[in-house]
Structure 1
């Protein structure tokens, strides 16, 4: 093992890492990036098919974003947003985000991550309801297989089995059905009937818990870390009237989908979600600076201002919220995405991306290929007819991801799925390289399994 890898094993505690794989093959210690590729300390290049962690959409060495970061560092690198003091670039970014949002008016609250933004939104809802004389409205609805973060509150919102290791979820965090038709549809059930059932079950949950106890519902347009799960047809149109009927705000978690991943500025636009607030992060700075944002529509913004006026302030914040450095980077990243052809490239190459993805349907162990825009997943099964997964001891998706690394491709294992979410700057030739490497990887892995 190289000295860098050895030191990494000894001194770095990695998150969401398979320790058995690390013990066997060691970590990858990276030194720099070149476009859509990252390079390790030994000089080996890897095509990063996951944009880092969904976020490095402009590649790893975009000179314009780097220049914007450096220029702001020279002028005014760091400050807070407490006590009514805020950097000029943060004001400019807030105006830009409201203009890009589905809201005609509203306000933006800054955090350092999507987890913090979702956590902050929960506290905002709780404060609003106390001020309205409804302190019992505290329960939060999310969905099975959702991912909303890793703080204590957002881990409780994240309906993944691993959170049981922390003794979570906390009481009051409710998990509705996952609208994954392929996996959760009943025998003979049409997709329309499935969507109607999802809506009925949600209303049953609300009535069972008591509408007067529910503060809000959070939903990703496409469930990203759940394995790239688009909603069933008409899902948001079915649940939106139910939430309005009971006065429950709908918060769109756009941490992954926002700023172009689906070929539109927001996943909410693609699916007609009509949210009351948007949670943003990741692509907001193209991965060049940690930042998250709560974008409040006018209704929630006014309600939070009224609640804060009653108390005298909004008693919540982070030291680096609305950092001038982060704000300058975000302004440039949004300009690059919107005006330098990145979102246009996603739209132009989406048909080819999805066509290459669908080719995996011909393989015996590809149970479902699914995706939209520049995100896709292949769910691996032992039996396509019964949709039976491989024994978890095989670790099939981890095995595929590890073999891909050997082939110079970084893809992500998520449950029984292999996920792709490439940078927005990817060319057609690079896209073909990515899929060719993944096909080569599948051939090798399943040849080993058959043997």
Structure 2
């Protein structure tokens, strides 16, 4: 048998693709990349692409930041790997835990490390189950999330993810309950104000708690902005409406900041942007600026005290990963936090976010763009067949996939999500990069809509 020769053929012959439209791969081939230059990535043929998705939301300092690569190199030379089991951990792990609590909304807390956001959400569920069991509330196992939320791909975190594609895995598992997505433009009823919409969702939460029993619910998980749901900004006042209900029933609120954390929404945390303080935070992606796979569970004061008491009761928390608190990952994370907060990246997001919004507002004037939405450096344009009725295009047309593929042809990487095109660039982009994004995206929109509208 002849072996495939091209990079594209070799990729398709030997690789399994995650979250990939296979008809596009079969028709167009795989984009095989060799390196990055600032916010650009370069393929095996030398073609450059401006990656307006910053990898997978996470390469916020670009693809060649010298300080981040040096932090990894120095730590590999000094202490290349260890765990955080049996009362042993690296000095970098200790320093990172201190730093994460210092920059969190909490006055004190504790941190547990994982290798990804999925594992961090999975771990948080186990922490809640462990805690409630130790406190004698063994029935408190149900988890509340929202439709269109994304919390990961492990069996537990995928059960939290309110996406229909998980049905092929026989998920969600029992006890995972999905509430209404807080997207007013799409799910608000006719003649319903935004305030009324929020009141309806708050009442839904009350009703679900009454139906299920507060003594059976372990926690409520929410992204400040739903990322993989299509950059869904919550309706105004949403968190202020639901948090008092959760507090009244003793249900912890977990802020999944895997995407929003460390600057994406214009503040250090998405919960700051939307004015609420959770009981715990889930972090990943921007935590290391994408330079090392790492996730973290950051517990606030109340959960820290209760979990520690539960651990003392049985003498250990029987959970962890081989690479939890990896010294290289922690060194990279310490540097990444410094880069975002002290090298002007966070300020650049705040400075250019209004310009980013203006550019998308202009593109949203197209008759087949129903809504533009977002905050900070995370935005989306939603395609519609009919702007007045918000009717989507038929799924078989794969409109967002066609727009994204056309952008790729033009040297721009953006992400199709449902009927939306998502943009979440590196925090290092300039006005010129922004203009390149808008110019190429506009070309793609005009071309595809002319074909399908």
Give the number of aligned pairs: 450
Q: Which residue of 2 aligns with 1:412?
A: 415
User: Which of 302, 312, 317 is the equivalent residue of 1:309?
Assistant: 312
Preserved contact between residue 397 and residue 452 of structure 2 (Cα < 8 Å): no
Is the 1:177–1:202 contact (alpha carbons within 8 Å) kept by the matching residues of 2?
Answer: no
TM-score by length of 1: 0.99
Q: Deviations over 1:235-256 (max 9, x none)?
A: 0000010000100000000000
Aligned to 2:335: 332
Match of 1:188 in 2: 191
In the alignment, does 2:201 pair up with 1:215? no
* Structure 1 residue 2, shift from structure 2 partner: 6.8
d(CA) in 2 for partners of 1:180, 1:360: 21
2:432 paired residue number: 429
The alignment status of 1:5 with 2:8, answered yes or no, reads: yes
Deviation per CA, 1:109-155: give whole Å up to 9, x if none. 00000000000000000010011110000000000100000000001
CA deviation string 1:38-95 (max 9, x = no partner) = 0000000000000100000000000010011100000001000001101001111111
Does residue 388 (structure 1) correspond to residue 388 (structure 2)? The answer is: no
Alignment match of 1:101 (pick from 100, 104, 120): 104
Q: Does 1:32 align with 2:74?
A: no
Name the counterpart of 1:249. Answer: 252
Give the equivalent residue in structure 1 for 2:265.
262
Conserved in 2, the CA contact under 8 Å of 1:143 and 1:175? yes
2:443 — aligned with what? 440
Where does the alignment leave 5 or more consecutive residues of structure 2 unmatched?
none
Query: 1:12 deviation in Å?
Result: 1.0
TM-score (norm 2): 0.99
- 2:127 is aligned with 1:120: no
CA shift digits 1:287-323 (9 cap, x unpaired): 0000000000111111111111111100000000000
1:198 aligns with 2:197: no
Answering whether residue 72 of structure 2 is matched by residue 69 of structure 1, we say yes
Residue 50 of structure 2 corresponds to residue 47 of structure 1 = yes
Following TM superposition, by how much is the alpha carbon of 1:443 offset from its aligned partner in structure 2, in angstroms? 1.2
Distance of 1:267 and 1:187 partners within structure 2:
29
> Deviations along 1:218-269, whole A, 9 cap, x unmatched?
0000000000000000000000100001000000000000000011000011
Contact 1:94 1:107 in 2 (8 A): yes
- The aligned residue for residue 91 of structure 1 is 94
In 2, distance between residues paired with 1:99 and 1:159?
Answer: 32
Question: Which residue in the other structure is 2:227 paired with?
Answer: 224
Query: What CA distance in whole angstroms lies between the structure 2 residues aligned with 1:363 and 1:43?
Result: 33
Unpaired runs of at least 5, structure 1: none
SS at 2:172's partner residue?
Answer: coil
CA–CA distance in 2 between the matches of 1:91 and 1:2? 48
- How many angstroms apart in 2 are the aligned matches of 1:364 and 1:382? 9
Partners of 1:86 and 1:449 lie apart in 2 by 57
Q: Residue 445 of structure 1: CA displacement? A: 1.1
* CA displacement 1:188-231 (0-9 Å, x = unmatched): 11111111111011111111111110000000000000000000
Separation in 2 of the partners of 1:81 and 1:111? 10
Distance 1:288 1:274 in 2: 28
CA distance in 2, matches of 1:377, 1:425: 19
Q: Distance in 1 between matches of 2:271 and 2:401?
A: 31
SS at match of 1:362: coil
